[in-house]
Structure 1
Amino acid sequence: MPAPSDIGRRNALPILYTRGNYYEVGFDVGRTFRGIIEDFLASFKELHDSYLPAYETTEGKAAYDATLKSLEENFPHYIRELQGTADGAKVPFHHLMLLHMDQIVPMNSGKARSAGTNGCSSIICNHEGQVLLGHTEDALPETLNHIYLVSAHIEEETPQGKYETKVEHFTALCYAGHLPGFCMGFNHHGLVFSVNVISPAKVLAGKTPRHFLCRSLLSAEHGEQGQKILRDVGVGSADGVSINMIFTKQEGLPIFQNAEVAPADGVDESPLSIMNICQGEHLVHTNKYLRLTGVAEDDGLCMASSNHRHARAGALCKPESIHKLLSVLSDTEDKEYPFFREGGMPDFVKTVTLGLFDITNKTWSFWMKNPQGCDPLFSIPIEFDCEKNHASLAFSKQKAKAD
């Protein structure tokens, strides 16, 4: 039988539906996907070659502790959620936390930024009858076949964290062992978004990791709150990230936003640039800043790949329809740095899935293989109204009390 690393690109994507408090939802995720999480942690070279060795140094452990302390003060509910995942999967908590801190521990222990992750591609298409957000989820090779969907309804009796969150209802794509929110997803308030990592030259300890900003974004009720979460006043971001988002319940014509976030270096809030993409417009965003100035970026594979992808997008037809958008995200003509990636050299990253949000028709479709040669694996409805779910939950509680 083939080893797990030799099973090829699987045409499968599991989904979990779960309800409970933050710890319970995290536990259900860990328990359900224990095998996938264990296999991913065992094979993930970045964890064993970079994160864990840096964690064992004095400087690295100090960076870890300072960052965890800040998270426990501001986002204790998400720490409990991650602890639940670790307990459910029966894996060490600090292994999962190191995944979420990413380059914070290595880069604050004297090591250079890893060349590992050079990010995803997102395309916004905002045309009449064609309101779309397409996204290639690109990750290190070990991540292939180690992803899943989580559809969660979370309720707490008391407000949680700096934004006093009590209820969340969302569906999100997750890397194995990671909190929801870091890839793409939607919530019941009408938020739809995708994430592009950006690689600043400096990453900060004691600040909020971009994974946790994205996790918190899943709770946003409207655009102003989304921007507030990304700005993170009082702490600020530890790293760079770009968010492509739309709140579908807003009045008037649909308007997308792209938010570029930089590390809060010497300040207590994230530098933030917001751009509106109105009807009749489109945007291609990869893994470099397009507007935010004054932020030094790592000049490695992430930048090289981003430059190639933007150049190739400029040579293709404008992504003004589903067909044209998919033709860009599935393009492989640039043999060094294609849009849809199969892990060649020098670009060893792989596209682990391609997602397409059709806002007009309220569907989210997934391709596990290049769309040039296959139909989507499946589509799920984007359900923004959870009043029925709240009513069902209230009925269940009343029935339980009566019994």
Structure 2
Amino acid sequence: MEEKNLPIFEIGPCESGYQLGFLIGQRFTKQIRSRLATDLIFQNQLLPFAQTKQSQTLLKSLSDANREKFPSYWDELVGTAEGSGVAVLDLMLLNFRKEILPFVPKTAVNLDADAEDCSDVLVVSDSMAVAAHNEDANIALLGHTYLIRATLPNGPSFTAYTYAGELPSCAFGFNNHGMAFTLNSVPPSEDEIVAGGIGRNFISRALLEATNMDDALTRIRSSAASVGHSYNLIDIKARRILNVETASRNRFSVWEVQETPFFHANMYLHLQIQEVQDENSLSRQKRAALLPKQTKADFLSLLGDTDDENYPIYMKGPTLYTLCTALLDLDDQTLSIIEGNPKEQQVTHVFAMSPRIHAD
């Protein structure tokens, strides 16, 4: 299977966002073009919608707002498109898919087409401080992911699991300031979504440069997001994990993870928001509550659970697929990536997350 050989691209120091994006696009041209050709959500929903008159105001407001808020990341997106020889519009549609799809006319075919699910189990106790994360996505993403290890001007660097054609990272990553994160989608109802705001991919790209927990929270709070999201923020030096749930109109709620293990699927747990009822997420939440959560092995076994045939925590298709599992250990200061069922603990990559001494 392609994903057993998850490519890693080490890059930098880069002089600009455009150069970073261009080199990524150049290196992963094959994966980006393949994704655009095979991603049915892109082909059947996003691209046709982008050709309609009613899409133009939305696309312009998204591009204007995000270019103004994050000019370097916008240049990165443009560079990725030009480096891979694809249209900038195509990568806009991929990066803003969560901000666009609520406004695509609904049909019986596309109602659930962009279901996207991740599961996290988190704890900070005397004996361990761990974040374990299943990266779940549409099966079309198989073979269309890679790891970016980038050094930016003036020394900052990050490692990010990246979807082909998207900004690093809509999944998980860490930097040399000792900050890391994993992400969970949440499904706010349509009247909770604000057209033309800041995209989730741009906010998580900004988190890759956060210097500490306060900085990460500020980066989230200062972005007027279109669509809600759940962020698991990890400060290695402070040995802290926060779950931050957000929604449009600058609403957010912060939950400090402590000795009671905290499981988060794809539903709001502490921010009061009208949301789409998701049976998949509810089932995973209920199942996780029943399983042991005392050790790292327990966490991995939980994330590998397939007891519920309809809505397993570990997914193998036909629509949703667990691309990999990430285990972030704050005490060992390592990020391990497991491909295959995590309960088998077949680690394929281990990265040191040790913060540099003068990070702040």
Q: TM-score, normalised by structure 2?
A: 0.93
Counterparts of 1:141-160 in structure 2, within 5 Å, are 141-155=139-153
Identity %: 29
Quick check: 2:135–2:323 contact (8 Å CA) kept in 1? Answer: yes
SS of residue paired to 2:343: coil
Determine whether 1:218 maps to 2:169: no
Aligned amino acid, residue 14 of structure 1:
P
Give the corresponding residue for 2:247. Answer: 262
Post-superposition shift, 1:261? 0.6
Post-superposition Cα deviations, 1:267-296, rounded to whole Å, max 9, x if no partner, equal xxx200001112x23211111100111x22
Q: Which of 7, 11, 21 is 1:14 aligned to?
A: 7
Distance in 2, matches of 1:326 and 1:382, equals: 20
Q: Which of 284, 296, 303 is 1:309 aligned to?
A: 284
Give the corresponding residue for 2:349. Answer: 378
Distance in 2, matches of 1:9 and 1:282, equals: 33
Counterparts of 1:184-333 in structure 2, within 5 Å, are 184-202=172-190, 203-232=193-222, 236-250=224-238, 254-264=239-249, 270-278=250-258, 280-293=259-272, 295-299=273-277, 303-317=278-292, 319-333=293-307
Q: Which of 157, 169, 172 is 2:157 aligned to?
A: 169
Post-superposition shift, 1:69? 0.5
Counterparts of 1:135-146 in structure 2, within 5 Å, are 135-146=133-144
Distance in 2, matches of 1:92 and 1:66, equals: 18
Give the corresponding residue for 1:76. Answer: 71
Give the 3 Å change call, closer, same or farther, for CA 374–131 of structure 1 in structure 2.
Answer: closer
Q: TM-score, normalised by structure 1?
A: 0.83
Post-superposition shift, 1:311? 0.7
Post-superposition Cα deviations, 1:181-237, rounded to whole Å, max 9, x if no partner, equal 21001111111110001111123222001111111111111222211111125xx11
Backbone CA RMSD of aligned residues = 1.8
Quick check: 2:163–2:169 contact (8 Å CA) kept in 1? Answer: no
Quick check: 2:138–2:321 contact (8 Å CA) kept in 1? Answer: yes
Unmatched 5+ residue regions in structure 2? none
Determine whether 1:64 maps to 2:59: yes
SS of residue paired to 2:75: helix
Determine whether 1:41 maps to 2:31: no
Distance in 1, matches of 2:343 and 2:2, equals: 15
Distance in 1, matches of 2:288 and 2:2, equals: 26
Post-superposition shift, 1:383? 3.4
Distance in 2, matches of 1:65 and 1:316, equals: 47
Distance in 2, matches of 1:349 and 1:64, equals: 28
Quick check: 1:57–1:109 contact (8 Å CA) kept in 2? Answer: no
Give the corresponding residue for 1:393. Answer: none
Which one is further off, 308-317 or 369-378? 369-378
Which one is further off, 125-134 or 172-181? 125-134
Distance in 2, matches of 1:324 and 1:350, equals: 21
Distance in 2, matches of 1:287 and 1:333, equals: 19
Distance in 2, matches of 1:306 and 1:361, equals: 30
Distance in 2, matches of 1:216 and 1:381, equals: 21
Aligned amino acid, residue 358 of structure 1:
D
Post-superposition shift, 1:54? 1.2
Distance in 2, matches of 1:136 and 1:322, equals: 14
SS of residue paired to 1:259: strand
Post-superposition Cα deviations, 1:7-35, rounded to whole Å, max 9, x if no partner, equal x4642211111110211111111111111
Determine whether 1:339 maps to 2:310: no
Give the corresponding residue for 1:100. Answer: 95
Post-superposition Cα deviations, 1:23-74, rounded to whole Å, max 9, x if no partner, equal 1111111111111111111100000111111111222121111111011111
Give the 3 Å change call, closer, same or farther, for CA 84–386 of structure 1 in structure 2.
Answer: farther
Post-superposition Cα deviations, 1:147-198, rounded to whole Å, max 9, x if no partner, equal 111011111xxxxxxxxxx764111100111111210011111111100011
Give the corresponding residue for 1:160. Answer: none
Post-superposition shift, 1:297? 1.2
Quick check: 1:146–1:175 contact (8 Å CA) kept in 2? Answer: yes
Distance in 1, matches of 2:2 and 2:70, equals: 36
Distance in 2, matches of 1:97 and 1:331, equals: 35
Aligned amino acid, residue 298 of structure 1:
V
Give the 3 Å change call, closer, same or farther, for CA 193–168 of structure 1 in structure 2.
Answer: same
Quick check: 1:127–1:320 contact (8 Å CA) kept in 2? Answer: no
Post-superposition shift, 1:81? 0.6
